[in-house]
Amino acid sequence: MNLINYFSKRKKIVDDALDKLLTSDKKDKAQSCNSDSALNSRTLYEAVRYSVFAGGKRIRPILMMAACEAVAGELGDVLVPACAIEMIHTYSLIHDDLPAMDDDALRRGKPTCHKAYGEATAILAGDALLTEAFAVVSSEEFVKKVKPEIAISVVRGIATAAGYKGMVLGQMIDMEMQGGDIDFARLEYLHIHKTGALLLACVKVGATIGGATKGQLCQLIKYGECIGLAFQIADDILDVVGDSKVIGKEAGMDSKHGKITYPKVVGLHEAKNIAEGLISSALESIKDFGKEADPLRRIARFIIEREK
């Protein structure tokens, strides 16, 4: 299995699906109204697409697809929620980059949304993407494909992971902890919420749609928890050792913002050890799975070996 090839093929599938989902419907009122109104509405639409197609790795949707495959599920069933997760990830980056938040000028090597379109549009583009994520997983087409009880469980899984007891809580703690005291328990708690919750949701949703048994789901949840935490530790490490040109944003920003990171709390060497340990645990959790879980295994290794 060639990982670069695998990622690039999967990324293409996700990009095509996102492209179809994020169209300005020609039949809707925005177009039937007079041309000026249609023109007005285009800015929001362009800002949304600018951020979604800014060159993301699509790790989350690819992970969701891999979890679905690991339980021999249908890939086509998972594509819409995979896109929804990417919309939510993108919204979180847009809002995170705002001047009142991390105040970042670059994201994936391009100006951040508010730098390109202004703050008001960036706030609304984030709001639009978050809402649209729930619109696509409740669309009649998707519900017909997976059945209402599965679709509503997808909504629940995504909303819980992204909300104020999940990702948004993580972002809040992240803001509040800047320049604060170092504390390992708080650090882990922060990372699990800020990044881990959404990655875990990818695994859970993918496995559920794929028809995982209770036992399989349990093992995959353990896998998801481990790689979720490892992912943010790897991000912390990249901010220290990464090349700005490769990671597509300014390196060293965590330190500049006084953020509490694994390298800061336990040192770079130990941070790497912890991340390695988590990946080993992730792999151990899915040892009963056969070849169909190989993509999950490769994704786990990729998470700590990536350069951006």
Residues 57 and 108: their CA atoms lie apart, in Å, by 10
Number of residues that bind a second copy (CB under 8 A): 68
Residues 190 and 208: their CA atoms lie apart, in Å, by 26
118-130 burial, b at 16+ Cβ within 10 Å, e below that, comes to: eeebbbbbbebbb
Residue with smaller CB distance to a second copy, 192 or 238:
192
Contact of 124 with 44, CB cutoff 8 Å = yes
The binder of a second copy chosen from 11, 13, 15, 41 (CB under 8 A): 41
Q: How far is the CB of 38 from a second copy (least distance, A)?
A: 9
- Give me the 46-85 binding string for a second copy, x by CB under 8 A, dash otherwise: --x-------------------------------------
Single-letter amino acid, residue 105: A
138 lies in the site for a second copy, by CB under 8 A = yes
Q: Which two tokens stand for residue 268?
A: 């770079």
Residues 173 and 188: their CA atoms lie apart, in Å, by 11
Stretch binding a second copy (CB under 8 A), from 12-20, 157-165, 240-248, 252-260: 157-165
205 lies in the site for a second copy, by CB under 8 A = no
Residue with smaller CB distance to a second copy, 43 or 281:
43
- Classify residue 169 by burial, with Cβ atoms within 10 Å: 0-12, 13-18, 19+: middle
Q: Tokens 């799975």 identify what position?
A: 289
Stretch binding a second copy (CB under 8 A), from 32-40, 56-64, 205-213, 241-249: 32-40
Residues 162-181 binding a second copy (CB under 8 A) are 162-165, 168-169, 171-173, 175-177
141 lies in the site for a second copy, by CB under 8 A = no
Q: How far is the CB of 46 from a second copy (least distance, A)?
A: 11
Contact of 103 with 110, CB cutoff 8 Å = no
The binder of a second copy chosen from 105, 135, 218, 246 (CB under 8 A): 135
Residues 196 and 185: their CA atoms lie apart, in Å, by 15
93 lies in the site for a second copy, by CB under 8 A = no
DSSP 292: G
- The per-residue DSSP string of 16-30 comes to HHHHHHT---TTSHH
Binding site for a second copy (CB under 8 A): 25, 28-30, 33-34, 36-37, 40-41, 43-45, 48, 91, 95, 98, 100-101, 118-121, 123-124, 126-132, 134-135, 137-140, 143, 147-149, 151-153, 155-156, 158-160, 162-165, 168-169, 171-173, 175-177, 183, 185-186, 189-190, 192
